[in-house]
């Protein structure tokens, strides 16, 4: 592959790749891949090239609106998940619902599937709003790297990119209390998830350790200011 670096007219090319390790999911599906690579240009200028290939994923900003409110009200509640996250050293990590995209590559389908598995909500794909697409910047003139319309949580070391969707549902106010603390997740996949319902205005604080939550807040509030959601 070859790309033109925005600060240099000489294109960089991928010269070689060494796969250092990999994991499999479920015994057969290729999972995470750790590799090193040689990336340089004709002047022998090199770029650091070690990466964890994790693949694309999706995150869902689910907002619940009490049905006793007028349409003009700003009161709404976001749904977070609380679950063990071993890499973070946490048994109760608070984050936005999310999941990896399977081999079929349907981002909306993956989002809808994760909402059903983690939140217990069955929805149609066309009910999801893709915040990432609505907020995607136009490519700078002369530089088109073909990047997906998504958020990169750790671009310095990982290829993972997260497409963020939003979904709104009006529910009885009493049901808000029922949602918070509900146990969900696929037990045969080792998931033990507790739901946490928080006021939307507090999402930035409640999800402050989660890049997905902070990105979703920024996208949603920015798009609201522009009248796009």
Sign for the CA dihedral angle at 111, 114, 118, 124 comes to positive
Residue of 10 and 131 predicted with greater confidence: 131
pLDDT tier at 17, thresholds 50, 70, 90? confident
Strand 193-199 and strand 183-184: pairing? antiparallel
The helix (run of H) or strand (run of E) holding residue 192 is: none
Is pLDDT above 80 for 54? Answer: yes
Q: Strand 183-184 to strand 162-171: parallel, antiparallel, or no bridges (unpaired)?
A: unpaired
215 or 191: whose pLDDT is higher? 215
pLDDT(182) > 60: yes
Res 5: pLDDT: 46
What is the per-residue pLDDT across 55-103, written as a single tens digit (0 to 9) for each? 899 999 999 999 999 988 999 999 999 999 999 999 999 999 998 887 6
In this structure, the number of other CB atoms found within 10 A of the CB of residue 104 comes to: 8
d(CA 215, CA 95): 12
Task: Give the residue carrying structure tokens 């991928």.
Answer: 14
Say if residues 165 and 128 touch (Cβ distance below 8 Å). yes
Residue 216 parent element (H or E): helix 211-225
As a whole number of angstroms, the distance between CA 151 and CA 155 comes to 9
Residue 187's SS3 state is helix
Q: Helix or strand or coil: residue 117?
A: helix
d(CA 130, CA 108): 8
**Can you tell me whether residue 152 is helix, strand or coil?**
coil
Higher model confidence: residue 140 or residue 202? 202
* Arithmetic mean of pLDDT, 146-163: 93
* Confidence band of 43 (pLDDT split at 50, 70, 90): confident
38/9: higher pLDDT: 38
Query: What pLDDT, on a 0 to 100 scale, did the predictor assign at position 227?
Result: 94
Query: Are the beta carbons of 193 and 82 closer than 8 angstroms?
Result: yes
pLDDT value, residue 103? 63
The sign of the dihedral angle between the CA atoms of 72, 73, 74, 79 is negative
Q: CA 181, CA 194: separation in Å to the nearest integer?
A: 6
Average pLDDT, the chain: 85
CA distance 155 to 143: 18
Phi (first) and psi of residue 178, to 5 degrees:
-70, -35
Query: What is the predicted pLDDT for the residue at 136?
Result: 84
């Amino acid at each position: 592959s070859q790309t033109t670096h925005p600060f240099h007219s000489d294109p960089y090319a991928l010269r070689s790749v060494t796969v250092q390790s990999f994991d499999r999911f479920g015994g057969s599906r290729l999972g995470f891949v750790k590799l090193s690579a040689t990336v340089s240009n004709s002047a022998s200028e090199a770029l650091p090239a070690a990466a964890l290939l994790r693949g694309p994923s999706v995150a869902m900003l689910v907002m619940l609106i009490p049905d006793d409110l007028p349409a003009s009200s700003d009161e709404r509640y976001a749904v977070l998940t609380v679950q063990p996250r071993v890499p973070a050293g946490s048994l109760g990590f608070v984050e936005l619902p999310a999941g990896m995209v399977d081999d079929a590559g349907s981002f909306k389908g993956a989002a809808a599937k994760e909402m059903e598995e983690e939140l217990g909500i069955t929805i149609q794909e066309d009910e999801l709003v893709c915040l990432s697409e609505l907020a995607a910047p136009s490519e700078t003139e002369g530089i088109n790297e073909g990047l997906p319309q998504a958020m990169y949580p750790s671009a310095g070391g990982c290829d993972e990119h997260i497409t963020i969707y939003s979904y709104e549902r009006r529910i009885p106010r009493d049901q808000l209390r029922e949602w918070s603390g509900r146990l969900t997740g696929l037990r045969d996949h080792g998931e033990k998830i507790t739901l946490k319902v928080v006021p939307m205005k507090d999402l930035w604080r409640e999800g402050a350790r989660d890049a997905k939550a902070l990105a979703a807040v920024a996208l949603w509030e920015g798009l609201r200011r522009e009248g796009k959601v």
